[in-house]
Amino acid sequence: MSTFERNSSAPPELDDIGVNLPAPADFSTALAEGFARRIGTLARRGGASGEAVKWAARAAFAASRATAEGHVCLPLAVLARRFDASSAEVRAALFASGMASDGSQSTAALRPLVIDGQGRLYLARYYDYERRLARSLVAHAGINTDASAGLNADATAQTLHERLLRYFGPPQDDEIDWQRVAAVMALSGRLTIVSGGPGTGKTTTVVGVLACLLDARADLRIALAAPTGKAAQRMQEALLARAGELPPELAARLPQTSYTLHRLLGSGPGGRFRHHRDNPLPYDVVVIDEASMIDVAMAAHLLDAIAPQTRLVMLGDKDQLAAVEAGAVFAELSARPAFTQSGLQRIAEALGIEAARLSEALPDVSSDFDQGADDFFAQTGAPDDSDTPLADCVVWLERNYRFGLESPIGRLSLAIRNGAAGAALEVLRIDPAEPCAAALYEDTHVTLADRTVMRLAAGFAPYADALAEALAADTPDPLPLFDALNRFRILCATRSGPRGVDQVNAAMAAQVRRAAGVTLAVGAQWFAGRPVMVTRNDYALGLFNGDIGIALPGAGGALRVYFRTGDGGLRAVSPAALPPHDTAFALTVHKSQGSEFQHAVLMLPSVFSRVLSRELVYTAITRARERVEVIGARAVLAQAIATPTQRDSGLAARIAEACRVV
């Protein structure tokens, strides 16, 4: 059963043809209903039969709801089963309605609905995104096979080897260093996809790659970007923090700014992006961080704007939460590394090792959690992995430099990633009396027990102490508060409800105010020490989605909200001037992506919810550097770990088609 089939309400009919629509349950449902009415009306005006009109409305509603739930498409069989029909009947009715096409048409000629050759139902816009993305990927990856185009003129294996030693240092041990493998791939080709969890050295890899490229070409044009402003800022800060490890002349040529993807592509007339296929980005290298957050629409626009000879390096974590919008592009593309024999030989020579040794060290992708990868490769039509269009483009970084994979957090993250709920529970200590690295506190009540609230409040005790000390000073210093806040954070699976972000934030705000002796006027929202997270980009103020600020009295005693700047300084903004924001003692797991805390707590709902998934639990767990706790029932946690995100997509099929076109 597909995720859509599990989660969605039954597709409705049009009320003006004898079937009533239910009252809209949410905004996306209302949009789907409006679209269904419109498609049904157009089909009827076009002379379609009543039965064909019904199926057109049903399909329009179902496809719209599927995209709202993160799917790019919907198996036609799912829709057929809901009404006890066969896929062949539904396909025939939809084509008869005049509202569906088979996807062979040009973009302008597509009907509102598309049914591909494998029986997937799309909104035409999403089919076109997927098709454009696939064609761009195949074209760009194809350049990797041309050594003369991929390598710099002087980048022989010996030159690459010397540059790796210069900018990555000597190997630490006899194990394969996958950061160096990724570097050789990025230096040898135009498309490189690097997947690794927190602490696996993605930033280190990028700094080394850029140093190698700048060593060969001083005038290299480089762009750094990420899906959100905060992620872009973090990438810039991380890169500059490592710049001191480079020779000063190279460090000075590293990019001094980073962009959101929207700013990178630019705004153009009619809502279009300024940069596209006919006006590509003017860079030699484009590095995209947090690529797992990119949806299929943005991915299509991004690849459209990459010039043929531009190196594109995409960094992310295939096991983290996917994009909020439709698609799980990065997870699909990085599902399984594949290498040609010539690619393995090239990498091995640059590393100074035997190709056979590198081949033997390739990651084992035979486990159950990579079943999706098998499906992806099978759909490309490739007889074996090395024949996939993305061969020599994908690499996994497995070694963790933040917490060793043998540490409790490391073992827990691996168990979750593998979908092994039993193994995960074995790592977690249940209701420990003393603090430990990985614990589960069983609180199964609908509302949090008092002892749970007190335990959470104790996590913010250092923050409350720092707040009290700051307020006792003549001029409060926000910097110690930022340090204290990053030691501990609560990550919630849901926004609403007694265990959601809103109520947990309210409870923690009251506890911190009480501990620090901060009063709050009746009905007032702001108080000294309130941490906030910006939820919408404000380019005029230079504040971005994900930025964290802390309220403290400024000159004259009025509250100001202080934000850290990229150079370690501070800037103050009036609370009234802030873009939309939320209190930030607790964050949703989605909002925590890219962040790290010494101690993190995952707050589960009291019963299993459709928002829970393996990827959500993994993302929350890997935010912690030293300690992680889960609050909830063992059964709920186990079910979440056993529930991988499954987003319906036809990207593999589109890539296979693009290969045939190319």
Across 257-261, 474-478, 593-597, 632-636, the highest mean pLDDT is recorded for 632-636
Phi and psi of 553, rounded to 5°?
A: -65, 135
Residue 523's pLDDT band (boundaries 50, 70, 90)? low
Per-position b or e across 229-240, b if 16+ CB within 10 A of its CB: bbbbbbbbbbbb
322 close to 70: Cβ distance less than 8 angstroms: yes
- If you count DSSP H runs as helices and E runs as strands, how many of each does the chain have, helices first? 27, 21
Half-sphere CA count of 234, side-chain side, radius 13 A = 21
Provide the pLDDT for residue 59: 95
Q: Is 249 left (phi over 0), alpha (psi -120 to 50) or beta?
A: alpha
CA distance 152 to 158: 13
- Condensed to tens digits (0 to 9), the pLDDT of residues 303-362 reads 999 999 999 999 999 888 888 888 889 999 988 888 888 888 889 888 888 888 888 888
Query: What is the number of other CB atoms lying within 10 angstroms of the CB of residue 107?
Result: 11
Provide the pLDDT for residue 467: 93
Instruction: Give the residue ranges of the annotated binding site.
Output: 196-203
Token look-up 């098709």 returns: 131
- The per-residue DSSP string of 246-275 comes to S-HHHHTTS-S--EEHHHHH-B-GGG-BS-
Provide the pLDDT for residue 385: 53
- Residue 164 corresponds to which amino acid? L
Provide the pLDDT for residue 401: 66
CA distance 540 to 477: 26
Phi and psi of 279, rounded to 5°?
A: -145, 70
- Condensed to tens digits (0 to 9), the pLDDT of residues 82-140 reads 999 999 999 999 999 999 999 999 999 999 999 999 999 999 999 999 999 999 999 88
CA distance 209 to 307: 19
- Two tokens at 306? 């990459």
Domains and CATH numbers, the chain: 27-124 (1.10.10.1020), 148-364+388-401 (3.40.50.300), 408-642 (3.40.50.300)
CA distance 47 to 49: 7
- Condensed to tens digits (0 to 9), the pLDDT of residues 25-48 reads 567 788 889 999 999 999 999 999
Provide the pLDDT for residue 8: 46
Instruction: Give the residue ranges of the annotated binding site for ATP.
Output: 196-203
Residue 662's pLDDT band (boundaries 50, 70, 90)? low
Query: What is the number of other CB atoms lying within 10 angstroms of the CB of residue 71?
Result: 27
186 close to 144: Cβ distance less than 8 angstroms: no
- Two tokens at 18? 């004898």
- Two tokens at 608? 């299993």
Indicate whether 282 pLDDT > 90: yes
Which of 53 and 174 is assigned the larger pLDDT? 53
- Condensed to tens digits (0 to 9), the pLDDT of residues 483-499 reads 999 999 999 999 888 89
